[in-house]
Amino acid sequence: QIQTDYTAYISTFVNLTRRLDEKKFKRESQSFEQSLAFSQEAYQTVKYGIYLLQKWTSNIVEMEAWKTRHPCPDELEARIVLVRDANLVDVKFKHDGSEERRLQPELVRLLNDGKKNTATRFKKGDKVMVKRGGDANSPARAYEMAVRYNFSSEELTTLVDCISMIKSVSTLMARAEHQVAPWLRLYMHHRIQQLAQGDLVPALHRAHKHKRQFKASLLNLRRLIADWNNGQERDDDYENYSRQNKETREGVKAMKHPIR
């Protein structure tokens, strides 16, 4: 699923960067609606990319946490698949089917056998216990048992691929920052003005009509974030608001504000 999401998003974002190259950012009120539509598309694309990065990173953190909580045991059961020269053996582990090659004989003992191993005692098919963790006296052994020796080859491949995809997407987004940032600022500024000059109007109207105490709090919030044309605050918009008006029946659209 991660690979599928990665491939689809890379294609989408590259297409966006090409359109950003063609469409120069301009603060013109005549084309504000078209610019707003494009800025919303850019915002949604970037937002989804950040969501994917967060999701993939969380998956890695969760996996690492689980591995740390469940460290590799001191020994793992396996079966010998090949006895090599120079006292080396190849084994296949029982728990996940992975294989490890050219193990030193001192790291392997026959199952339920406490005697010292010799190369002549091993043969193909023997059930053995394989010591894990490298140097038992190493100060890093706890970490190695939790991470280094706690991944199968398939898990390591998946982990490396996931990290590579995270770095690839984040690098691609960082390189396009100077292109997409003005469009993101345009969209986010408009969304804030939509809240201040549009979404709050019905609530202010009801508070004004019924003389609610929270009207002052709503007005303070609006004054904090509103960006008015010519710097002049309006107070007639919520006083004259009506749900019966066709233009405001489905909500007040805040389109008359400075373009930032």
C-alpha span between 204 and 95 (Å, rounded): 65
Domain ranges in the chain are 1-64+159-251, 75-149
Determine the pLDDT at residue 130. Answer: 86
Whether the Cβ atoms of residue 83 and residue 122 lie closer than 8 Å to each other: yes
CB-CB contact of 247 with 209 (8 Å): no
Q: Which of 61, 49, 45, 110 is nearest to 83 (CA)?
A: 110
Model confidence, pTM: 0.74
According to the model, what pLDDT value does residue 88 have? 87
Q: Which residues of the chain have pLDDT under 50?
A: 118-119
What does the block give as tokens for 72?
């590799």
pLDDT of residue 197: 87
Q: SS3 string of the chain?
A: CHHHHHHHHHHHHHHHHHHHHHCCCCCCHHHHHHHHHHHHHHHHHHHHHHHHHHHHHHHHHHHHHHHHHCCCCCEEEEEEEEECCCCCEEEEECCCCCEEEEECHHHEEECCCCCCCCHHHCCCCCEEEEECCCCCCCCCHHHHHHHHCCCCHHHHHHHHHHHHHHHHHHHHHHHCHHHHHHHHHHHHHHHHHHHHHHHHHHHHHHHHHCCCCCHHHHHHHHHHHCCCHHHCCCCHHHHCCCCCCCCCCCCCCCCCCCCC
Tell me the C-alpha distance between 70 and 67, whole Å: 5
Q: φ and ψ at 164, to 5 degrees?
A: -65, -40
Model confidence pLDDT, tens digit, residues 4-39: 999 999 999 999 999 998 887 777 655 778 888 899
Per-residue pLDDT tens over the stretch 79-118 = 988 888 877 889 998 877 888 888 888 888 888 655 555 4
pLDDT score of 119? 47
